Structure 1
Amino acid sequence: MKFEKFFIPSGERDIRLEVVSARPVHDGPLPTIVFNHGSTGRGQNKAFYRRTVSPAVVANYFLERGWMTLFPQRRGRGKSGGDYGEGLAVDGSGYSCDADIAIAGFERAVEDMDAVLRHLKERPDVDKDRIVIGGVSRGGILSIAYAGMRPGTFRGAINFNGGWLGRACPSHETVNPRLFERGAASGIPTLWLHGSYDQYYRISHCRGNFQTFLSAGGQGTFVAAPMGHALMFKPALWESHVDQYMDGIASSRSP
Structure 2
Amino acid sequence: MLSSLPLFARALTLPPDARLREEVIMVPSGDGGREQLETTVFRPPGPGPFPLLLMNHGKQPGPASQQPRERFIYMAAEFVRRGYAVMLPMRAGYAGSTGAYRDHGCDMAANAAGQARDVGDALAYARRQHWIDTSRIVVAGQSYGGLAALSLATQALPGVRGVLNFAGGLRVDDGACDWQAALDVAFAALGAASRVPSLWLYGENDGYFAPPLVRRLYRAYTAAGGQAELFAYGAFRRDAHLTLGSRDGVAVWLAPTERFLRRIGMPAAPVVALSEPAPPPATRFASRGDVGAVPYLAETGRAAYRVFLGKLQPRAFAVSASGAWGWAEEGESPALRALDSCQQGSSAPCHLYVVDDSVVWPAGGQ
Matching residue of 2:218: 210
Matched residue SS, 2:205:
coil
Matched residue SS, 1:156:
strand
Matching residue of 1:81: 98
Give the C-alpha shift of residue 217 in structure 1: 1.1
User: What is the alpha-carbon distance in structure 2 between the residues aligned to residue 184 and residue 142 of structure 1?
Assistant: 16
Matching residue of 2:251: 236
User: What is the alpha-carbon distance in structure 2 between the residues aligned to residue 243 and residue 6 of structure 1?
Assistant: 28
Matching residue of 1:95: none
Q: 1:46 aligns with which of 48, 63, 79?
A: 63
TM-score, scaled relative to structure 2: 0.60
Give the C-alpha shift of residue 26 in structure 1: 2.5
Pair 1:177–1:152, CA change in 2 (3 A): farther
Give the C-alpha shift of residue 127 in structure 1: 1.0
Q: 2:36 aligns with which of 16, 32, 51?
A: 16
Matching residue of 2:227: 219
Tell me the percent identity.
Answer: 28
Q: 2:79 aligns with which of 55, 62, 78?
A: 62
For structure 1, the 5+ residue unaligned runs are 88-97
Matched residue SS, 2:213:
helix
Matching residue of 2:26: 7
Matching residue of 2:183: 176
Give the C-alpha shift of residue 175 in structure 1: 2.3
Matched residue SS, 1:149:
coil
Pair 1:251–1:130, CA change in 2 (3 A): closer
1:36 aligns with 2:56: yes
1:187 aligns with 2:195: yes
Q: 1:99-131 CA distances to partner (integer Å, 9 max, x unpaired)?
A: 23x544333212212211220221121111101
User: What is the alpha-carbon distance in structure 2 between the residues aligned to residue 165 and residue 150 of structure 1?
Assistant: 28
Code of the aligned partner of 2:86:
T
Matching residue of 1:71: 88
Q: 1:176-195 CA distances to partner (integer Å, 9 max, x unpaired)?
A: 23333314433322100001
Cα pair 1:49 1:76 within 8 Å, conserved: no
Code of the aligned partner of 1:242:
T
Code of the aligned partner of 1:158:
L
Give matches, 1:78-117, under 5 Å: 78-87=95-104, 98-100=105-107, 102-117=108-123
Matching residue of 1:249: 264
Deviates more, 1:167-176 or 1:209-218: 167-176
Matched residue SS, 1:70:
strand
Matching residue of 1:124: 130
Alignment root-mean-square deviation, CA: 2.2
Structure with the higher helix share, 1 or 2: 1
Give the C-alpha shift of residue 145 in structure 1: 2.1
Cα pair 2:136 2:266 within 8 Å, conserved: no
User: Max radius of gyration: which structure?
Assistant: 2
TM-score, scaled relative to structure 1: 0.85
Cα pair 1:40 1:48 within 8 Å, conserved: no
Pair 1:79–1:202, CA change in 2 (3 A): same
Pair 1:175–1:34, CA change in 2 (3 A): same
Cα pair 1:50 1:77 within 8 Å, conserved: yes
Q: 1:16-41 CA distances to partner (integer Å, 9 max, x unpaired)?
A: 11110110112322100100000113
User: What is the alpha-carbon distance in structure 2 between the residues aligned to residue 190 and residue 168 of structure 1?
Assistant: 30
Code of the aligned partner of 2:47:
D
User: What is the alpha-carbon distance in structure 2 between the residues aligned to residue 202 and residue 250 of structure 1?
Assistant: 31
Pair 1:205–1:231, CA change in 2 (3 A): same
Q: 1:157 aligns with which of 153, 156, 163?
A: 163
Q: Which has the higher contact order (CA 8 A, sep 6+)?
A: 1
Matched residue SS, 2:86:
strand
Matching residue of 1:91: none
Cα pair 2:50 2:131 within 8 Å, conserved: yes
Cα pair 1:167 1:201 within 8 Å, conserved: no
Matched residue SS, 1:112:
helix
User: What is the alpha-carbon distance in structure 2 between the residues aligned to residue 74 and residue 116 of structure 1?
Assistant: 9
Give the C-alpha shift of residue 150 in structure 1: 3.4
Where does structure 1 differ by over 4 angstroms across 4 or more consecutive aligned residues?
A: 166-170
User: What is the alpha-carbon distance in structure 2 between the residues aligned to residue 57 and residue 168 of structure 1?
Assistant: 33
Pair 1:251–1:10, CA change in 2 (3 A): closer
